[in-house]
Structure 1
Amino acid sequence: MGIEGTVAWVNGRLRDPAEPVLSALDHGLTVGDGVFETCGVVQGRAFALTRHLRRLQHSALGIGLPAPDEALLRDAVAQVLAAGTGLGRLRITVTAGLGPLGSGRIPGEPTVIVLAGPANPPDVVRVVRVPWVRNERSAVAGLKTTSYVENAVALAHAQSQGADEALLANTVGELCEGTGTNVFVERDGEVLTPPLSSGCLGGITRELVLEWGAQAGLPVREALPGELPYTVLDDVAAGRAQLGLTGSVRTVAPVVALDGAAVTTGPLVAELRALYAAREPQDVDP
């Protein structure tokens, strides 16, 4: 995917997206010392921006960076969205700024980047199981950091198998999440998503599906610890359960294939997808 249609704002002003703007010593580049958020763009606005900025602050504080300047970020987002057309995805990145070649930090100004560009999310998803696990006891468990190479490796493996996403267990054999998605399991007349204690990211779409689904009277909830073992995917393969994935750009998407074999889709996941599609344009910053 190229940079056509991308709008960039870096450290105070709009830039040509092809312009070199980072120092070779930016700690976000040398050691992945930064945090980020990705929002969908709905009706020309960043969807659920307040929630995303709250999580960005949580992630920054979680890795020991100062809380980002919310007013600055909101202004940058407004500039970027005003400067582009056909935008579907917005990303905010904050790094520790200049740093040494090692992991230590030096005091200084953060690097702040806001990008927006087109998005063409799929309506359905094909997933695979992978041999790697998410460490639910990691120092960055549940934080959205720029140290994303584990996800890149797992996703590349999935794509090499003809899939769109990889599903990860955690170190104790529980279903955790995808590389960039939360997972929902439909079985026995309800829809469950792994608890945050599994090490999964507290996704904004996940959060809204739980809230909006409960408000609509749909049987959707966070699973109890240990209630969704990774082996629940065997039930999916056998047709006894179904899957849906959530993310800020794809919203709610049913899974139609697991490990290269077609699987059934669930009616409750379809209801949640329809509910989200109806609610999203009604309140762009819920």
Structure 2
Amino acid sequence: MSQTVSVEDRGFTLGDGVFDTALARDGAVFARARHVDRLLLAAHRIGIAVSRDAIETAIDAALTMEPAIIRTTVTRGTAARGLWPASAGAPTVVVTTAPWSPALVGQPARLITATGRRNEFSPTANLKTLGYLDHILAAREAAEAGADDALILNTRGRVACSTIANVFALIAGRLITPSLSEGCLPGIMRALVIEAAPSLGFAVEERPLAPQALAGADAVFLTNSVRFLRPVTALDGMPLAQGDLAALQAALLARA
């Protein structure tokens, strides 16, 4: 079913909205409640009064039995000109799908360090908003350098995230990942790794992570909801250690 969005929609004109990307298989969205909860929280944080029913109904209409990447976009809708409108219409909710392949899971990634920084002090630092241009430009940097993704540091020069994923480092048997105060998104797969790790013998620390620490880590990996766990093989042309992450990957796939 086709759907059109007004050229006056604030998502189109101002990037005034939020989105979520999830994996659907066999007619069900993996970790659906977590994805919807996060999307609702982000929308409400920026003042978009969208209902859970509107989101759930739109997702249901898009589901098929084929594996798919499900993207749910929520905008403030149409409104009169001006940055903060005196009034706005109903929120716009759009769900789109794209084919998903199991080959995406576990693909190794070579990273470069992006020149741009992520502002951990921004009120939207922990929200998945439509304003993704900084990450788009970092992805262009990576592509031009022949890399698969870019490591993005925050304003204090510490690890924040990659363009599309959270970052973990395995150091002396402990999984280290930047805390949300470092400017990363509260990734769904990030949360699942944090929950699953202790049962596999890994202690987890959410804390600042210096990029120099990645060079001496036993393993570095990325997490997102489409690729699950993605090992990082190199950073800025320097090879990184490849620790055994099979048990952790298996634990995540078992939940899907």
- With normalisation by structure 1, the TM-score equals 0.83
**CA distance in structure 2 between the partners assigned to 1:229 and 1:100 by the alignment:** 45
Write the letter of the residue equivalent to 1:44: G
Query: What per-residue deviation string (whole Å, max 9, x for no partner) do you get for residues 58-84 of structure 1?
Result: 111221211x221222222122113xx
Name the counterpart of 2:170. 186
What secondary structure does 1:132 align onto?
Answer: strand
Query: What per-residue deviation string (whole Å, max 9, x for no partner) do you get for residues 204-235 of structure 1?
Result: 00001111222x243141333x3x123223x2
Name the counterpart of 1:230. 211
**CA distance in structure 2 between the partners assigned to 1:197 and 1:232 by the alignment:** 19
What secondary structure does 1:255 align onto?
Answer: strand
**Residue 7 of structure 2 is aligned to residue 31 of structure 1:** no
Identity rate of aligned residues, in percent? Answer: 37
Name the counterpart of 2:74. 94
**CA distance in structure 2 between the partners assigned to 1:38 and 1:257 by the alignment:** 26
CA contact (8 A) 1:35 1:95 kept: yes
CA contact (8 A) 1:175 1:230 kept: yes
Name the counterpart of 2:59. 77
**CA distance in structure 2 between the partners assigned to 1:222 and 1:71 by the alignment:** 36
Residues 241 and 102 of structure 1, relative CA distance in 2, 3 Å threshold: farther
Name the counterpart of 2:219. 242
Matches within 5 A, 1:127-138: 127-138=111-122
Matches within 5 A, 1:38-53: 38-53=21-36
What secondary structure does 2:63 align onto?
Answer: helix
- With normalisation by structure 2, the TM-score equals 0.92
Q: 2:183 aligns with which of 199, 215, 221?
A: 199
**Residue 128 of structure 2 is aligned to residue 144 of structure 1:** yes
Query: What per-residue deviation string (whole Å, max 9, x for no partner) do you get for residues 111-160 of structure 1?
Result: 11011120242522221111111111102110111111111111111111
Q: 2:96 aligns with which of 115, 127, 130?
A: 115
Name the counterpart of 1:221. 204
**Residue 166 of structure 2 is aligned to residue 210 of structure 1:** no
CA contact (8 A) 2:20 2:35 kept: yes
Name the counterpart of 1:163. 147
**CA distance in structure 2 between the partners assigned to 1:229 and 1:261 by the alignment:** 16
Q: 1:124 aligns with which of 103, 108, 113?
A: 108
Name the counterpart of 1:254. 231
Greater alpha carbon shift after TM alignment, 245-254 vs 257-266 = 257-266
**Residue 230 of structure 2 is aligned to residue 278 of structure 1:** no
Structure 1 position 101, deviation (Å): 4.4
Name the counterpart of 1:3. none
CA contact (8 A) 1:213 1:219 kept: yes
Structure 2, gaps ≥5 residues long: none
Structure 1, gaps ≥5 residues long: 1-13, 281-286
RMSD of aligned Cα (Å)? 1.7
**CA distance in structure 2 between the partners assigned to 1:143 and 1:150 by the alignment:** 14
CA contact (8 A) 2:58 2:93 kept: no
**CA distance in structure 1 between the partners assigned to 2:82 and 2:235 by the alignment:** 40
Write the letter of the residue equivalent to 1:137: F
What secondary structure does 2:111 align onto?
Answer: strand
**CA distance in structure 1 between the partners assigned to 2:79 and 2:144 by the alignment:** 35
Name the counterpart of 1:8. none
**CA distance in structure 1 between the partners assigned to 2:228 and 2:58 by the alignment:** 24
CA contact (8 A) 1:30 1:101 kept: no
